[in-house]
Structure 1
């Protein structure tokens, strides 16, 4: 893992620490170190959230009506019913606050900071970018930054990586830091030299130069995006808003019709008003947008645990529907670290001479991975030369030349670069060049990178780049190995119906070899070059991409064209990228995925997801998590529909038929105290796995297919029929309304518990508690004579309980078919 930082953050700083003026300026530019924003707390905040609940106003309004009628007991009962509502809202609010406090617990409250040459202890939030901080053993890192000094350093980073094992740390090499301070625009810092907020130093004592504070720290980004994700409105949430508005209009129409019917039946104005208000609350679909917003915040945290940092909440909605991934090769499918696997010197030279020449052609402070690998091989060997001039590598030149003076004072030119470029600049014969070119192609076809090395003396050099007369020294063969997890991740994606297209600037033979190892596409993978892609897209043939597995030698504009063409064909496209040139494709994709280790800041800013480990497997895990979140949301909505359908139908049509009201306001309160926490807490905790199942992806997401709608409707109608028959049966010739209401309530509560069990499979402790609590509430409130009388019910007989249980279990069995269908589709 690498961290990219710009020079403006730490260049030109005094070793004695920041001055007061610098602190003020940097706090103004970068902000304070508020990594986790404290959630509002206190009873005022709880009350502020509680009064937004329409149930509160229903209870207050209905209690006032009964108080006006002189029914003090009923008004008191409804007023007391406010208490559990407030307690439940307080619990949910406290749960959010505890989660925030849990994040804050891993942060340093104070830190020792070097200011104006003196160490001082300050609150951690006062740290600014550029500060030098002393982190002692067992203390948390107060911000993200570079480790400048320290010995035997180990850190615990489980909060960010999930790994409990200690991670070794070492100071940043001085030449790397010097390169940044000397004016380099940006450098990549290895994770070994990086300290992160939210992690803790286990051993040693470290000096940390602060680079990122507050929400810019990795830990802060996760916390802030989760908070923003719970509030941002997504297209699906907007659609839910329209659905809620439609349901509200329908509920108003039914309520008015019920009020008119009750009044026409001779029950009076008060009965008509209470009937209408009670039905309105039963029919009010406020849980749907609340549950959806809650799931977005949960999704951000769950994806973060899988090394996928969500930057926009819409990703939680879309990631599970991805049908095509356009993936980079280097660092995503491969390890992103070139290894020098083969040294192939020409017959007149040794391997050491070849490697030494390649090192002399490389810049000492180069960030090129091939240069670094070559120089690392000779770390303990003196190059014995002074570098006089450099003619750097560019894409059009495809070579780099170094002019050096050796120990005897003679000048030499050393050149390395693409074999097809270097070979024509040497004194090899035509046959020899063709033989070396064949060797190059053989290695390229197996996924290797090959560079050629040559040299020549410069007895009379007058400046300028030598471009001929070189002696060929041999080839260096590098390999960027496929990640061990890549092939399995691709297999899972393909098995789940997700198409994988590799997009790379590499040679077609190299690209095809890596794609074959990863299992992408056909055998062998079908490769086209970027120019061929443009020609195909120009023909506007809708099937022109069906036989494409790999796009090699692609340009940034071609990557964007590919994304748009795939989207036009109905695909939901995820794109990976790491550079500024990937920004257009990342913006144009349905899901833009930037690389957190090697990605540029501009790529990370426009992406909707940042991979913290640059691993293709993480993309598949994120998709699996996204699909599980969508499934969990479906189960929650299915539960709400299966319970609300019979609640609304029986509340409306039993009174329409001339019978007494089934539910009084206190009964609606009881039911909502069961329904609301069940929908919010039970289903969001259902666990996921790395396995993907095939889904039908569409641009417009559908919660339920036709079969699922049938099952939901069937379960709702079964409960409606059971409640209605139980009510009529228990009413009997004696017209025992309280007994009939008790039967209806028990049947509905048992059905709610059974549906919860069927959809969740009782896979979590929360699901089990919810089911047990619902049934226990029915047993206590109905069977206890005093409590039953207070809520206008009467205890049931043994045969009533038996019938209610059997009737309630049937919709639970129907509900269980929904997760069963999902498992069968895997």
Structure 2
């Protein structure tokens, strides 16, 4: 977790007592702007108003209310205006829900902070901070920007908001003597915006503010990404355009026929307007847009921040994952796993020798892993001979006792073994152990010691006659949950390819550990991939590990897999990964170690760099698409009979079935059901099986047949119920009530079957639909205002029977409770 240190900040890092002057603050604020990490959001009311004005129901209610007013029917005009209240309330609620993915982000940021300016300590709003400010943080404080620690008193930081890892991270003051390059390496000197101090205190220099912070970059990338139109959105838009044209023509025809039948101008206009609103498929783009917002939020909970909305579609259809090893499948650190001491040496003795040969002040990961298990000696160091690439060892000489020195060495096993007093058989035995460990994926070093008489030593590095102490085996541990995630992928048909720069033996060992190909991964060298692609492209589906790979080779692999109709997800963190990330169907940049260029082109930023998070995100994407299918199926099954009954009954010369107030009534049932019930249905434990189809197939032919059968059967039942209830006395209010009740019950029944009533929201909507319908119809005062009349028991029983019959068809068609392909 480090950033490049700005050049202009280096000279300020050494001064930990005085902050910026007022003039310097003003100049820097003019240059960098305010420390506005989340960005300046649109006015909540302004954005809500803009979204609401796009809702055709608003214009329908206003237009028909105006029409009634012009014709002198004040009561109907007022009722329609009152109906605006629940629609506006629902728009406000849904607007709030779509902002949920970023609404909680501000909780990870400080609101005020102590800063030293002109030699005085003052508390200011975090928005007033500028690069170069000297701030003070203590336990429980949130970091207000990306800053470099100058002084610390046991400072530990919780970085889980950015990394997903809950353990505390110890921070150390920046070493000004190391210079800018040293700062790049000293990740533990950085305290980033959105992280929280757990213990200790310190003074820090602000380096980056606002959108330039790591937190701000990711958040704003996610916000920008949600605005992109996806292929499915475009397809829905084309469908809506076609349906609008068809509905317009049908409405004109209906108005002309009603006028020709002698029903009057008002009847003709109301027939056309009511049919238009019933036929207008505005729910489809609204539901889809809402589900995209939900998808962004659900993926963010899985540590996957979405930059482009297309990923919400693609992530659930991934069939191949090309994943890095280090830091994604593994933890990205070395851990001491095995000690193999010599016969006459105890394990603790081996560790003591290794610790004596390690640098406690350095950054070498092997030294860090050793010193995590053993303590370096306190004896005075007489001489040190550091590790170099040509010598491949590190040697230190300590004063053991007066007149006696102890030399300790650790390094490449071949080098240390050659320095030891071993015969040929012993040497072969030790090297065989090294080879066996290396074959299992371990990084192996050897340790040795030598007692030296001070009188015989001239200060040169001892390089022979050592007593070998043993071997230490290190590994980059596999991340928790990766093996289970790979198993989920294997069961679901998702092919995982590990792309690594490691030696084939190491790559094979890691592939076995994580369960690639049931523990028997096929490994190939990256240099052989091009020949494989040219001779047998399909062979890529049988390759599990690509070793000795460089990032630029990923592009050819991605393109070859896409040519096989695979939906490819790729992980990357560097500039060289940019072509592959851009070409992939789902480009996943590493939030922790990824470069800004990689994050910029990727469609997802993974904040914890963990392979398990990728698999969880795929599961979320699959479930989201499945939920969207169910919502669209519900809309089609309900809208088809609504439109057909609204058109066929007036065309047949009957009195109008639906008045505008009835469309409002039904839409207040349909909208919440489609938007709220299906968007948060729980997922299955396992991933669905991938099919490798690049074209989205929303419904199977059999499912289209089921949707059509439900719509047509319900239309027949509604028309039959209307004709029966109308009777000889032409009691149109009774007929309307029968149809509306039957349609409401069918809505609740279809929703119950498709959703399985698996959430409290589904139960609430089902019960609310039935109870609300009963109250509105059976209360004489309300019924009269709504142009219906209370029903008899037999009417209710018939409506319930019709709703139950309708609900059976989706069950028979196997649309309920099924995860999409």
TM-score bin, normalised by smaller chain? 0.7 to 0.9
Per the TM alignment, residue 741 of structure 1 is displaced from its structure 2 partner at its CA by: 1.1
Is the Cα contact below 8 Å between 2:638 and 2:747 reproduced in 1?
A: yes
Distance in 1 between residues matched to 2:133 and 2:510, nearest whole Å: 44
My pick for the range that moved more, 348-357 or 729-738, is: 348-357
TM-score of the pair, normalised by structure 1: 0.86
How big is the shift at 1:189? Answer: 3.0
Which residue of 50, 53, 58 corresponds with 1:51?
Answer: 53
Report which stretch shifted further, 446-455 or 734-743.
446-455
In the alignment, the residues of structure 1 paired with residue 459 and residue 103 of structure 2 have an alpha-carbon distance, to the nearest angstrom, of 69
- Going from structure 1 to structure 2, the CA distance change for 1:90 and 1:606 (only over 3 Å counts) comes to closer
1:323 to partner: Cα distance: 0.8
1:525 corresponds to: 521
Q: Structure 1 residues 366, 98: closer, same or farther in 2, change over 3 A? A: closer
Structure 1 segment 726-737 matched on structure 2, within 5 A: 726-737=721-732
Give distance in 2, aligned partners of 1:563 and 1:42: 42
**1:565 aligns to 2:560 (yes or no):** yes
- Which of 282, 285, 291 lines up with 2:278 in the alignment? 282
**Matching of residue 441 in structure 1 with residue 435 in structure 2:** yes
- Would the alpha carbon gap of residues 188 and 153 (structure 1) be closer, same or farther in structure 2, given more than 3 Å must change? closer
Q: TM-score, normalising length from structure 2?
A: 0.86
Q: Secondary structure at the match of 2:54?
A: coil
Could you say what secondary structure the match of 1:309 adopts? strand
Contact 1:153–1:168, Cα closer than 8 Å, also in 2: no
Q: How does 1:404-803 map to 2 (within 5 A)?
A: 416-417=411-412, 437-451=431-445, 476-539=472-535, 541-688=536-683, 690-803=685-798
- How far apart are the structure 2 equivalents of 1:470 and 1:312? 63
Structure 2 counterpart of 1:70: 72
What residue number does 1:128 align with?
130
For residue 727 of structure 1, report the CA deviation from its aligned partner: 0.9
Taking the aligned partners of 2:197 and 2:752, their CA distance within structure 1 comes to 44
Aligned length: 808
CA distance in 1, matches of 2:235, 2:381: 69
Q: Distance in 2 between matches of 1:603 and 1:350?
A: 48
Cα distance change of structure 1 residues 46 and 372 upon mapping to structure 2, 3 Å threshold = closer
- The range that moved more, 221-230 or 734-743, is 221-230
Deviations 1:318-373 (A, max 9, x none): 11111111122222222322123345678999989987997898777654422433
Where 1:799 maps in the other structure, the secondary structure is helix
Q: Deviation per CA, 1:87-124, whole angstroms, max 9, x where unpaired?
A: 33334345567886654455432211122332111112
Task: Give the aligned partner of residue 183 of structure 1.
Answer: 181
Alpha-carbon distance in 1 for matches of 2:819, 2:624 = 18
Distance 1:415-1:96 versus aligned 2 partners, 3 A rule: closer
Structure-2 separation of matches of 1:645 and 1:179? 74
Q: Which stretch of the first structure deviates more once superposed, 578-587 or 371-380?
A: 371-380
Distance 1:233 1:23, change over 3 A: farther
Q: Is residue 742–residue 794 contact of structure 1 (8 Å, CA) maintained in 2? A: yes
C-alpha contact 2:223 2:307 (8 A) present in aligned 1: no
Kindly state the Cα deviation for residue 128 of structure 1 after the two structures are TM-superposed.
3.0
Alignment-derived partner of residue 260 in structure 2: 264
Query: What CA distance in whole angstroms lies between the structure 2 residues aligned with 1:47 and 1:601?
Result: 35
**Are 2:240 and 1:244 aligned?**
yes
Check the 8 A contact 1:416/1:454 in 2, yes or no.
Answer: no
Q: Which residue in the other structure is 2:11 paired with? A: 12
Q: Work out the CA distance in 2 between the residues paired with 1:291 and 1:688.
A: 19
Looking at structure 1, the residues matched to 465 and 312 of structure 2 have their Cα atoms a distance apart, in angstroms, of 57
Hey, what's the Cα distance between the residues in 2 that align with 1:160 and 1:251? Answer: 50
Q: Report deviation, 1:240.
A: 1.5
Distance in 1, matches of 2:814 and 2:154, equals 51
Instruction: For structure 2, list consecutive stretches of 5 or more residues without a partner in the other structure.
Output: none
Whether the aligned pair in 2 keeps the contact of 1:358 and 1:416 (CA below 8 Å) is no
Question: What's the secondary structure of 1:89's corresponding residue?
Answer: helix
CA contact (8 A) 2:315 2:618 kept: yes
Deviation string, structure 1 residues 427-472 (Cα, Å, up to 9, x no partner)? 9998877655543331122121234679999x9999xxx9x99989
The answer for the alignment partner of 2:305 in structure 1 is 309
1:671-691 CA distances to partner (integer Å, 9 max, x unpaired)? 122222222222222233553
CA deviation string 1:152-181 (max 9, x = no partner): 767778877889x8x5454x224x644764
